[in-house]
Amino acid sequence: MITITFDDAINNNNIQLYKDIFNGNRKNPNGCDIKATFFVSHKYTNYSAVQETHRKGHEIAVHSITGTGNRRGSGSSEHNDDEQFWSNATVDDWAKEMAGTRIIIEKFANLTDNSVVGVRAPYLRVGGNNQFTMMEEQAFLYDSTITAPLSNPPLWPYTMYFRMPHRCHGNLQHCPTRSHAVWEMVMNELDRREDPQFDEYLPGCAMVDSCSNILTGDQFYNFLNHNFDRHYEKNRAPLGLYFHAAWLKNNPEFLDAFLYWVDEILSNHNDVYFVTMTQVIQWIQNPRTISEVKNFEPWREKCTVDGKPACWVPHSCKLTSKELPGETINLQTCVRCPNNYPWVNDPTGDGFF
């Protein structure tokens, strides 16, 4: 299983990129379109595009209201650039940010199937017991924030009922210290050495765009193959490829290498599936053999999706919020415009704090 994820806002900067990758021609061995998981942060997100992404069968998960998750800071809200906020946030802070994002997504992308069940913290800052307590209380299924140090073999996803099977990795990270009824879609670090047989040890990298020594398309292609082999030939732990869209969009050479690699994997393997995070959990809870999995219902959902988007021309709502003084932000949605720009204390945008 390969899980491709994208973090942050879905909007006109990356909609075309997603269309190019998930163009309806890339099929899993069961004949269904390949799928990805999108961890959506609220600010600047186009909710009509979120609605369309979900209609196509991709998974929508939450990445907070205020955190941009990218260091370049695309806005100056109170917590954006304060990684410490996330390490020490209260259960209530986490609920406002994550359950709040889910309220916004469900309302403005018109998602009614309770499918928003995943969380990734901004800056990959784990929120310790507070984050996981909130997830239990708010009925989130899984987190995908905890990074596991580069290891051979890599780790399978696990539940938080028991102690984590690896050390709490990352500087100043705040991992849970007691039992929680939540899955962890652990982020296995990727090996970025050019030649793992001979090169000296290099620390791994969790987000693909933080693997700073990938400089050419060829290097990226080799990196993908080598990490694929490490997962495929060792213990078949799901291979996570975690991106920010800008990295692929701003480096056409990397995008070409990536698409070439995806197409090659699909044409050479009848036992490799590009699936969503929830689909991985569904398989772990109900494993199927290679031949059975072709008809595995959870992997056939929204197999190939035709038909029209919910709206061709979304409402473009120019909105303000007391919580964001001096800012007017555009919110695109197929449902009607709210009174205010939805924010932490007013996720529905009704103006009732």
Quick one: tokens of 349?
């945008």
Which residues form the domain of 109?
Answer: 2-311
Distance from C-alpha of 203 to C-alpha of 192, rounded to nearest angstrom: 8
Asked whether residue 331 is assigned to any structural domain, the reply reads: no
Asked whether residue 332 is assigned to any structural domain, the reply reads: no
Asked whether residue 321 is assigned to any structural domain, the reply reads: no
The domain spanning residue 161 has which CATH number?
3.20.20.370
Quick one: tokens of 282?
């569904």
Asked whether residue 39 is assigned to any structural domain, the reply reads: yes
Asked whether residue 342 is assigned to any structural domain, the reply reads: no
Asked whether residue 339 is assigned to any structural domain, the reply reads: no
pLDDT of residue 81: 58
Asked whether residue 318 is assigned to any structural domain, the reply reads: no
pLDDT of residue 68: 66
pLDDT tens by residue, the chain, 353 residues: 999 999 999 999 999 999 999 999 999 999 999 999 999 999 999 999 999 999 999 999 999 999 863 333 333 344 445 788 999 999 999 999 999 999 999 999 999 999 999 999 999 999 999 999 999 999 999 999 999 999 989 999 999 999 999 999 988 899 999 999 999 999 999 998 887 777 777 888 999 999 988 999 999 999 999 999 999 999 999 999 999 999 999 999 999 999 999 999 999 999 999 999 999 999 999 999 999 999 999 999 999 999 999 999 999 999 999 999 999 999 999 999 999 999 999 999 998 75
pLDDT of residue 71: 33
SS (H, E, C) the chain: CEEEEEECCCCCCCHHHHHHHCCCCCECCCCCECCCEEEECCCCCEHHHHHHHHHCCCEEEECCCCCCCCCCCCCCCCCCCCHHHHHHCCHHHHHHHHHHHHHHHHHHCCCCCCCCCEECCHHHCCCHHHHHHHHHHCCCCEECCCEECCCCCCCCCEECCCCCCCCCCCCCCCCCCCCCCCEECCEECECCCCCCCCCCCCCCECEHHHCCCCCCHHHHHHHHHHHHHHHHHCCCCCEEEEEEHHHHHCCHHHHHHHHHHHHHHHHHCCCCCECCHHHHHHHHHCCCCHHHHCCCHHHHCCCCCCCCCCCCCCEEEEECCCCCCCCCEEEEECCCCCCCCCECCECCCCCCC
Number of domains observed in the structure of the chain: 1
Asked whether residue 337 is assigned to any structural domain, the reply reads: no
Residue pair 58/276 in contact (Cβ under 8 Å)? The answer is: yes
What pTM did the predictor assign?
Answer: 0.95
The strand pairing partners of 318, in sequence order, are 330
